[in-house]
Structure 1
């Protein structure tokens, strides 16, 4: 394999192109162009251009008794749809999912209008041609005059819609998200329907994962105020002033939101984790509506 290897690990997998659905243990290799599943006795190569869907957690009913944490890759071969189910530890599944979407989608030409709306106001922006780049928890739009990123922890809505793009009616993804404290809507179209569907799948998977983590966390009103303050630039040194409480009480609040994995402390200050950002984004959305 001459192209760069992105991921290389050992896991159990099952292919519906094989005589038996029972999983085997083998090597999983992902490059910029293909996914290879190999044992000492066999090797299956799946060109990334043939992949049309990727799902996490769901496996065909006949395989439910075999697997736990999985990623299923649907691909086309000889005019028919097939699937490969790969099992790994939960953290590895999440990382491999991002690697796979990144290999397929990064560099894809995209037509984007940003922002199409600010709040409820339609802007005068026009569609521009750029390129996609997939990162964990976000989608970046590059090679345009003002590159930007959509942090999926700040997304409150996304949907496919038909729009006039350069005189043609095309399917676009409209995504409403938080951008520097403002609720904005961006619209973008991808030429190939296969890649548009995969991009939609990535958005849904990443958003659902962050949302589920956020929903499991209960926060008090004071803790929410602390999250909003940190989002706005507060650090451990001035958090008490931002909340209007004494330093000891602020330290206790900070300890609690760190325990709940809503804040990442570092030498550079405090930053919100993805669930923390989502909770703040929801609060901002409610305030702005």
Structure 2
């Protein structure tokens, strides 16, 4: 394979084109054009243009007993729908999933309407051309007026039909208020892949947040940080003494909800998701 390799590791996998449904150990090689699964005895190639779905954790019923942490890749080859299931450690699965989505989606020609709505108000925005780029937890659209959507700020998304074809409708918080954007991709296959990426990334964030127990006082502190309050401002903003604010921030750091870097106090992705949910409930 002459093209540049972007992932290369050893894992267990099974593929419809192999004789046995039981997983085998072999080499997984990914380029920007194809996925190769090879053992000492056999090799199979999947063109990225044939992939129509990627899932994490799901395994077809007849293979469920064989696998644990998995990436399941559905593809259409020679007119037939087939499935490849790859198993590796949870961190390796997460990295491979991201690289695979980037390889299949980055650079895709896109049309975006932003903002299609601000709160409940429909705007006069029209669709404009852009190029798609994804990163863990982020979707970016390179255009004359670029747009970056942090998935932690997303409160709603789904696929809908329009006169020009299907679109993804996505509602997210922007500068403290809910806005709605619409995205149309060059093919419905890629639109479905983007929808899957959004669901997987959002679900992963949401699961982490659901495991947390947050007091009302902690939530008020998160909202204040989201609104731009600095460490020295929080005591006055929250009406608390400085020692209580220090304890609150320590607890929020331990829960992975705030971080203090070179630019000062900020929310993590999980912290932004919690605040986005609060903003959405207040504005509904």
Shorter-chain TM-score tier: over 0.9
Match of 1:18 in 2: 18
Gaps of 5+ in 1: none
Corresponding residue for 2:162?
163
1:227 aligned partner: 222
Contact persistence 2:17–2:44 (CA under 8 A): no
- For residues 53 and 174 of structure 1, what CA distance do their matches in structure 2 show? 19
Query: What is the CA deviation profile of residues 89-134 of structure 1, one whole-angstrom value per residue up to 9, with x for unaligned ones?
Result: 1122122111111110111111111000000001111110111111
Equivalent residues, number: 284
1:185: how far off? 0.3
Distance between the aligned counterparts of 1:2 and 1:235, measured in 2? 52
- RMSD of Structure 2 on Structure 1 (CA): 1.4
Distance (Å, rounded) in 1 between the aligned partners of 2:19 and 2:265 = 53
- What residue number does 1:151 align with? 150
Q: What do residues 130-186 of structure 1 show as CA deviations (whole Å, max 9, x unaligned)? A: 1111111121111x221011111111111222224xxxx321111111112121000
The DSSP-based 3-state class of the residue aligned with 2:231 is coil
* TM-score computed with the length of structure 2 as normaliser: 0.95
Asked if 1:58 corresponds to 2:62, the answer is no
Q: Please state whether the residue corresponding to 1:261 is helix, strand or coil.
A: coil
Alignment-derived partner of residue 86 in structure 1? 86
Q: Distance in 1 between matches of 2:230 and 2:5?
A: 40
Q: Is the 8 A contact 2:257 2:267 kept in 1?
A: yes
Q: Does 1:203 align with 2:198?
A: yes
Pairwise mapping of residues 91-130 of structure 1 onto structure 2 (< 5 A)? 91-130=91-130
Q: How far 1:236 moved relative to its partner? A: 3.2
Normalised by the length of structure 1, the TM-score is 0.94
Task: Report the Cα offset of residue 4 of structure 1.
Answer: 2.4
Residue pair 2:157, 2:171 contacting (<8 A) in 1 also: yes
Deviations along 1:180-230, one digit per CA (max 9) or x if unpaired, are 212100011112111111111111111111111111111001111111122
Shift of 1:87: 0.8
| Cα distance, 1:185–1:42 mapped onto 2, change above 3 Å | same
C-alpha deviation, 1:266, in angstroms: 2.6
Q: 1:233 to 1:2 in 2, by over 3 A?
A: farther
Aligned counterpart, 2:176: 181
Q: Give yes or no for the alignment of 1:288 onto 2:283.
A: yes
Query: How far did residue 238 of structure 1 move?
Result: 3.2
2:256 counterpart of 1:257: no
| Structure 1 stretches of at least 4 aligned residues deviating more than 4 Å after TM superposition | none
- Listed as ranges, the gaps of 5+ residues in structure 2 are none
SS of structure 1 residue aligned to 2:22: coil
- Helix, strand or coil: the match of 1:285? helix
SS in structure 1 at match of 2:66: coil
* 1:269 pairs with 2:264: yes
Question: In 1, distance between residues paired with 2:2 and 2:260?
Answer: 41
In structure 2, C-alpha distance between the alignment counterparts of 1:8 and 1:232, rounded to whole Å: 43
Counterpart Cα distance in 2 of 1:34 and 1:251: 51
- Counterpart Cα distance in 1 of 2:98 and 2:230: 31
Following the alignment from structure 1 to structure 2, what is the Cα–Cα distance between the partners of residues 163 and 22?
43
